[in-house]
Structure 1
Amino acid sequence: MALVFCALMISQMTFAQGGGMHNNQTPEQRAQQQTNKLTQELSLNADQQKSIYSANLKAAQDMQAAMQSGDRSQMKTIQQTRDASFKQTLTADQYKKYEQLKEQMKEKMKEHRQMQQPSGDGTPAN
């Protein structure tokens, strides 16, 4: 399940960088997809789902505007704001698991970037 969350976050990061297959998704669709994954991973109750969806939607809308302007510092601020909202909504155990999922996603992104960089001989780095 963590792998599914990582794939979702990778697709979001790819979208944030201006490419990827999720360019045609609306902020509402992205927010719902992210909320669904977190519901599965963290066993969110109905109230938590509503709050997490709202935070995801605001972040997706703000991220879309920040991407268009290319403002990376704003993108980071958006993510931090969403995380703060998550921290208020989730239990301590759920937030700890969310933080672990984020770390796993960062590692996957790092691996993905390394695979995409040429090694100098015309082949992707391994």
Structure 2
Amino acid sequence: MKKYISLLSFIALFFIGMEYSSAQHAEKQQSPEAIAKQQTYQLHQLVNLTGDQQGAIFKALVDAQQNRQELDKKDATDKLKQEGTITVDERVDESFKKILTPEQYKTYQASLEKKK
């Protein structure tokens, strides 16, 4: 009887470990839409976006996340990846300038400075 309990305990621990491992992997591989949704929500909390602004910001962030993931997939040098990331960030910044009001954009810039 003791052997069966030990065996069942081992099997249960094995499956718990498998679930934990797959949850961590899924967390690292979020879709661009999920990441953009989270970032849009954070920006909304910061500057109180309107509905139209939320949609436009979401689209810009999804595009940026897709581009970043493509950069990560390619076998490129670090310098090429850095240049690509800088280009993506500049495009996002340009989009934000067009979408946000000047006051919202200043608040957004100030929050970026605090993070640095």
Normalising by structure 2, report the TM-score. Answer: 0.70
**Equivalent residue for 1:47, pick from 43, 47, 52:** 52
Cα 1:85–1:22 change in 2 (3 A) is farther
Task: Judge conservation of contact 1:66–1:72 (CA < 8 Å) in 2.
Answer: no
How far apart in 1 are the matches of 2:27 and 2:86?
A: 19
How far apart in 1 are the matches of 2:61 and 2:85?
A: 13
**Equivalent residue for 2:36, pick from 31, 35, 47:** 31
Deviation at 1:23, TM superposition (A): 2.0
Cα 1:102–1:22 change in 2 (3 A) is farther
CA RMSD of aligned residues (A): 1.4
**What is aligned with 1:96?**
106
Task: Judge conservation of contact 1:67–1:75 (CA < 8 Å) in 2.
Answer: no
**What is aligned with 2:96?**
86
**1:13-32 alignment runs, 5 A limit:** 22-32=27-37
**Equivalent residue for 1:64, pick from 46, 69, 80:** 69
Amino acid at match of 2:102: A
Normalising by structure 1, report the TM-score. Answer: 0.64
**1:1-20 alignment runs, 5 A limit:** none
Larger Rg: 2
Percent of aligned positions with the same letter in both sequences? 36
- In structure 2, the gaps of 5 or more residues are 1-25
Aligned length: 86
How far apart in 2 are the matches of 1:80 and 1:40?
A: 22
Higher helix share: 2
Dislocated runs of 4+, deviation >6 Å:
none
- In structure 1, the gaps of 5 or more residues are 1-20, 107-126
